[in-house]
Structure 1
Amino acid sequence: MMQADVPDLGPAAQRILLGAQLRAAREARGLSTSRATEALEWRNAAKLSKIEAGTVPTSDRDLAALAELFEIPSELAASLNRLATEARRRLPPSRVPEWAARYVHLIRASEHLSLWNPDCFPGSVSTRDYARAWLSRSIVVSTAEVEQMVDERVARADHFRRDGRPTLHLVVGEAALYVAAGGPATLRGQLEHVRELAELPTVTVQVVPFERGGYAAPGSAYSIVHLFGEQRLVFVENLIGSDYLGREYVRIYGLAFEDLCRQAETPERTIKMITRRIQEL
């Protein structure tokens, strides 16, 4: 259950958190989005999906209808109402596309990040050249957006070094040490950057070696965003969009991340692996 006093995370993160809470409440009632929309008699079939994704603000009237349909307890409903009120503030301007901006705002509001990627380093720890190499190959990022998104990713990576918040636990598959997006020099620079981050007291980096076998979440990159108290969200991204998951998803993805940490080399051995790979390049 949500805490009564919610810290000011900013409207973008608040919309995402509210949407995840409502989605969890709907699923607890065993309702699909289509069944819920039908029960609410909403003409816009996509409205509920947008609210749950955190892409639109939620009015008091709509929130009251959702709370009644999902049988949300009064104390939690009151907390959601306060959260919805704060989330209706104007979003701050962003230099990246709207779909990417929501994740940027969420990270800025977080206290800790748990990141997993099986075959490359995520944008939050990318160097400029590494980010450009990957974004330039994207089929959903336009040429005009590439440099803006590169700047944003570099700023995100600097954030860990400069502010020490959020703290970071990064786990990658060993393939990330070999997939040379942008060429060997770009990969070497990326590995040097990750090694520097790994030496910070607020950052933990681990690599899952090839020989350790399968993963608990094969082929699936994701982020677990720790906000405040026990509030968690899972962020997953695919070629055409992204999703924010709460409640049971957080538990399942959290267990998968714990398994990855057990499979991975220790942080000390990981730094040695990265150093060896840098020397090979």
Structure 2
Amino acid sequence: MTGATDGDGWEIEPGDVQGAAVIALVGHQLKALREAAGLKVSELGAALGYGEGIVYKVESGTRIPRPEFLDKADDVLRANGLLKAMKPDVAEVRYPKKVRDIAALEAKAVELTSYWNHSPHGLLQTPEYAQALFSMRRPALSSEQIERAMAGRTARKSVFDRDPAPALSFIQEEVTLRRPIGGRTVLRGQLEHLLDLGQLRTVEIQVMPTDREDHAGMSGNMDVLKFEDGTAIGRCDGLYNGRPVSDPKQLRSIELRCGIIRAQALSPGESLAFIERVLGEL
């Protein structure tokens, strides 16, 4: 099962070559240190408080260990911080590959334009709102899956801390401001967060009112990311099977739709005033 867990770590997702390489290295180091210490797998497992099977899976590179596993193993095997030093790389692998790929693109982008129609964009969501969204997934996600998804989403927020910061433009459907995902208190916190982000000079938030008669976003969500070297990547639910594209001709179609919907939506100033009114109605 993709991303399966038994409470003691995660399996590598199929096709995650980068993640597999990181975990293989961790497993190789763990096995070498264990053998150098003259311990059997069962003995190391007992010393760590983990089952023998978990140690085997970590050593074979098929299981992503938890941070506390690496901490304990480093201490028991007297690795002098070697295993503990691997925790940042291992923590990144815990994020779903799709999330890591998106985060890598966002980290390089100098411009991002995005239109979302069912919920605030992932970069705009508060932890409470994101938690509510993941918790309502069907089939239901396990607590471990929600934890992993939340960690990945939180990691993407570093885009706001870059210097120089990228130009971020978000167009949100009015319904994303009104649907009380997680309850009224969670929605109130989400709207307050949007107002705070909207004050940043590198962030523009626009609202697409429900009563608009002309709407360029009826094909679904779309995103355009532009990079410093002049290249770009775009994606639209209703174009090119929803897959990311970089061909200039295909990009032009997505950029055209983004440009039109920005013109059709409320201006950033009008949008912040609109969000304040919605907040006042709660």
> Smaller-chain TM-score range?
0.5 to 0.7
**DSSP 3-state at the match of 1:200:** coil
Q: Residues 69-107 of structure 1, C-alpha deviation per residue, up to 9 Å, x if partnerless? A: xxxxxxxxxxxxxxxxxxxxx999433111222111111
Q: Distance in 2 between matches of 1:203 and 1:273?
A: 17
Instruction: Tell me the residue number matched to 1:180.
Output: 180
- The AA in structure 2 aligned to 1:131 is A
Instruction: Tell me the residue number matched to 1:159.
Output: 159
Instruction: Tell me the residue number matched to 1:103.
Output: 102
The answer to whether the 8 Å contact 1:209/1:265 transfers is yes
Instruction: Tell me the residue number matched to 1:204.
Output: 204
CA RMSD for the aligned pairs? 3.0
Instruction: Tell me the residue number matched to 2:276.
Output: 275
Instruction: Tell me the residue number matched to 1:234.
Output: 234
The normalised TM-score by structure 2 is 0.62
The answer to whether the 8 Å contact 1:125/1:153 transfers is no
* Shift, 1:163, TM fit: 4.5
The structure whose RCO (Cα within 8 Å, separation 6+) is larger is 1
Instruction: Tell me the residue number matched to 2:135.
Output: 136
The normalised TM-score by structure 1 is 0.62
* Shift, 1:262, TM fit: 0.8
Q: Does the C-alpha gap of structure 1 residues 159 and 140 become closer, same or farther in structure 2, counting only changes over 3 Å?
A: farther
Instruction: Tell me the residue number matched to 1:38.
Output: none
1:1-281 mapped onto 2 (5 Å cutoff): 93-139=92-138, 142-143=141-142, 144-157=144-157, 159-160=159-160, 163=163, 165-236=165-236, 243-247=243-247, 248-281=249-282
Gaps in structure 1 of 5+ consecutive residues? 1-53, 58-89
Q: Distance in 2 between matches of 1:135 and 1:214?
A: 32
The answer to whether the 8 Å contact 1:161/1:200 transfers is no
- The AA in structure 1 aligned to 2:172 is V
Q: Distance in 2 between matches of 1:204 and 1:164?
A: 16
Q: Which moved more, 1:242-251 or 1:229-238?
A: 229-238
* Shift, 1:148, TM fit: 2.3
Q: Distance in 1 between matches of 2:109 and 2:139?
A: 26
Instruction: Tell me the residue number matched to 2:65.
Output: none
* Shift, 1:166, TM fit: 2.4
**DSSP 3-state at the match of 1:234:** strand
Gaps in structure 2 of 5+ consecutive residues? 1-14, 19-88
Q: Distance in 1 between matches of 2:197 and 2:167?
A: 11
Q: Distance in 1 between matches of 2:218 and 2:104?
A: 28
The answer to whether the 8 Å contact 2:236/2:254 transfers is no
- The AA in structure 2 aligned to 1:101 is R
Q: Distance in 2 between matches of 1:222 and 1:118?
A: 9
Count of equivalent residues: 195
Q: Does the C-alpha gap of structure 1 residues 141 and 231 become closer, same or farther in structure 2, counting only changes over 3 Å?
A: farther
- The AA in structure 2 aligned to 1:171 is I
Q: Distance in 2 between matches of 1:55 and 1:279?
A: 46
Q: Does the C-alpha gap of structure 1 residues 155 and 55 become closer, same or farther in structure 2, counting only changes over 3 Å?
A: closer
Q: Distance in 2 between matches of 1:140 and 1:226?
A: 35
Q: Distance in 1 between matches of 2:93 and 2:214?
A: 39
Instruction: Tell me the residue number matched to 1:75.
Output: none
The answer to whether the 8 Å contact 1:131/1:150 transfers is yes
Instruction: Tell me the residue number matched to 1:62.
Output: none
Q: Residues 24-80 of structure 1, C-alpha deviation per residue, up to 9 Å, x if partnerless? A: xxxxxxxxxxxxxxxxxxxxxxxxxxxxxx9779xxxxxxxxxxxxxxxxxxxxxxx
The answer to whether the 8 Å contact 1:160/1:167 transfers is no
**Percent of paired sites with the same residue:** 26
**DSSP 3-state at the match of 1:94:** helix
**DSSP 3-state at the match of 1:244:** coil
